[in-house]
């Protein structure tokens, strides 16, 4: 893609692009992965602990305990976002906080808090799903397509 | 106890995949999350995600990829009862707790907290 983009640029601009590429700080991929593994693993272990609590004290089953513990994780991460703690964890953990459901909650609440000054309807209401929206859209569309394929296969098999 | 260790390893592993997508393939966090959600729905369709949840517990159900799987599961369950229209009515069946909690508490947070910076 980048070579296609470069063709439209003048030689001077191309020169600058290569210059910028060399000067760009190298991302410490391995270190980031280790951090993501640790933070993501810890968040999932907390989720497992919550599931265990819901199973032991609130009579949820193995199947149903996932939903309330996800909701609790979402509430915790929204609180941490509001208190300004989440940013520090996310800075260190990278994808470790973005990939679990905590990242989803963080994008919703941070967008809501950030756009509060634009009013409660258009600011908070309109921007809440600015970042989380694509995840829901692509999730629903892909799930719908896969579901239709599965139903069709089953229907053909049942003929 | 064993389950906690597997939750840690599998959950951490999925996050490493996300980190690689971000660092090596230069995707934005939003693109990474979308990719993982679609991957979760496709793996769910192939029947591979539920065994993973059974095996790793929260390690597979907390990452965002389980969102795609849950959407698919709701659609399939409802369509078994109500036919093809169930794919539309049931798609949020399982994930509604997560989405509602995020909307309600996100809104409350915007009432309480002020943005910094």
Domain ranges of chain B: 2-112
Largest CA distance in chain A: 69
- Give me the pLDDT at residue A159, please: 52
d(CA B50, nearest CA chain A) in Å: 10
Amino acid A146: pLDDT: 92
A38-82 residue pLDDT tens: 999 999 999 999 988 888 888 888 777 888 888 899 999 999 988
> Alpha-carbon torsion B39, B43, B44, B49, what sign?
negative
A49 interfacial to chain B (CB closer than 8 Å): yes
What do you get for the CA distance between the two ends of chain A, in Å?
Answer: 46
pLDDT tens digit sequence for A119-140? 888 888 888 888 888 999 999 9
Q: Cα separation of B36 and B25, whole Å? A: 14
Q: What pLDDT does residue B42 have?
A: 93
CB atoms within 10 A of CB A26: 5
pLDDT at A59: 84
Closest-CA residue to A93 (of A40, A26, A29)? A40
Distance to chain B for A83, nearest Cα, Å: 7
> Which pTM was predicted?
0.84
Residue of chain B minimizing CA distance to A118:
B110
Residue that has been written with the tokens 């959600």 in this structure: B37
Interface membership of A131 toward B (CB under 8 Å): yes
Q: Which residues on neighbouring strands pair with residue B63, listed in sequence order?
A: A100
pLDDT tens column, B72-95: 999 988 888 887 888 888 889 888
B7 has a chain A CB within 8 A of its CB: yes
Q: Does B10 touch chain A (CB under 8 A)?
A: yes
CB contact under 8 A, A39 and B13: no
What the block records as the tokens of B32 is 């990474």
Q: A142 to chain B: which residues are within 8 Å by CB?
A: 37-38, 41-42, 68
Position with higher pLDDT, B114 vs A55: A55
- Nearest chain B residue to A138 by CA distance is B34
Residues 72 to 111 of A: which have CB under 8 A from any B CB?
73-75, 78-79, 81-84, 94-96, 98-101, 103-105, 108-109
Q: Is B8 on the interface with A (CB under 8 A)?
A: yes
Percentage of chain B surpassing pLDDT 90? Answer: 25
The Cα–Cα gap between A77 and A94 comes to 15
Confidence of residue A93 (pLDDT cuts 50, 70, 90): confident
Check if B85 contacts A (Cβ < 8 Å).
no
**Cα separations (Å) of B42 from B20, B64, B101?**
20, 13, 25
């Amino acid at each position: 893609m980048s070579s296609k983009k470069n063709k439209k640029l003048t030689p001077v601009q191309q020169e600058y692009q290569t210059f910028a590429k060399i000067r760009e700080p190298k991302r410490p991929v391995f270190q980031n992965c280790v951090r993501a593994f640790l933070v993501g693993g810890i968040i999932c272990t907390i989720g497992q602990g919550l599931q265990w609590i819901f199973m032991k004290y609130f009579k949820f089953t193995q199947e149903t305990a996932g939903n309330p513990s996800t909701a609790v994780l979402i509430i915790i991460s929204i609180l941490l976002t509001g208190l300004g703690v989440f940013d520090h964890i996310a800075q260190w953990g990278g994808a470790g906080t973005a990939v679990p459901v905590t990242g989803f909650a963080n994008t919703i609440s941070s967008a809501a808090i950030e756009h509060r000054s634009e009013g409660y309807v258009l600011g908070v209401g309109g921007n809440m799903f600015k970042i989380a929206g694509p995840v829901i859209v692509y999730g629903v569309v892909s799930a719908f397509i896969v579901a239709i394929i599965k139903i069709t296969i089953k229907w053909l098999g049942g003929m | 106890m064993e389950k906690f260790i597997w939750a840690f390893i599998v959950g951490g592993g999925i996050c490493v995949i996300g980190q690689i997508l971000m660092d090596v393939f230069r995707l934005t966090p939003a693109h990474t999350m979308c990719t993982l959600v679609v991957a979760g729905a496709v793996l769910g369709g192939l029947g591979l995600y539920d065994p993973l949840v059974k095996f790793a517990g929260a390690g597979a159900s907390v990452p965002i990829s389980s969102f795609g799987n849950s959407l698919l599961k709701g659609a399939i369950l409802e369509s078994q009862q109500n036919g093809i229209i169930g794919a539309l009515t049931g798609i949020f069946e399982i994930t509604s707790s997560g989405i509602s909690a995020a909307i309600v508490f996100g809104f409350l947070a915007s009432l309480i907290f002020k943005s910094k910076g």
